[in-house]
Amino acid sequence: HIGEEKADVYLLLPPGMEAHSFEPKPSDIVKINKADLFVYTDKYMEPWADDLVRSVTNRNLLVVEAGRGTRTIPAVSHDSDEPAGAPDPHIWLDFDNAKIMAGNIAAAFEANDPTNKDCYRKNLEDYRKRLFEVDDAYRRTLSHCRSREIVFGGHYALGYLAHRYGLKHVAAQGVSPDAEPTAGDLKNLVTQIREHRIRYVFYEKLSSPEVAETVAGETDAKLMPLSAAHNVTRDQIERGVTFFDIMQTNLHSLKTGLGCE
Backbone φ and ψ of 225, nearest 5°: -80, 145
pLDDT of residue 197 exceeding 80, the answer is yes
pLDDT of residue 175 exceeding 50, the answer is no
The per-residue pLDDT of the chain, averaged, comes to 88
**Model's pTM, two decimal places?**
0.88
User: Once rounded to an integer, what is the mean pLDDT over residues 133-138?
Assistant: 98
**Residue 77: per-residue pLDDT:** 59
pLDDT of residue 38 exceeding 80, the answer is yes
Per cent of the chain over pLDDT 70 is 92
pLDDT of residue 83 exceeding 60, the answer is no
**Residue 173: per-residue pLDDT:** 58
pLDDT of residue 41 exceeding 90, the answer is yes
Confidence of residue 78 (pLDDT cuts 50, 70, 90): very low
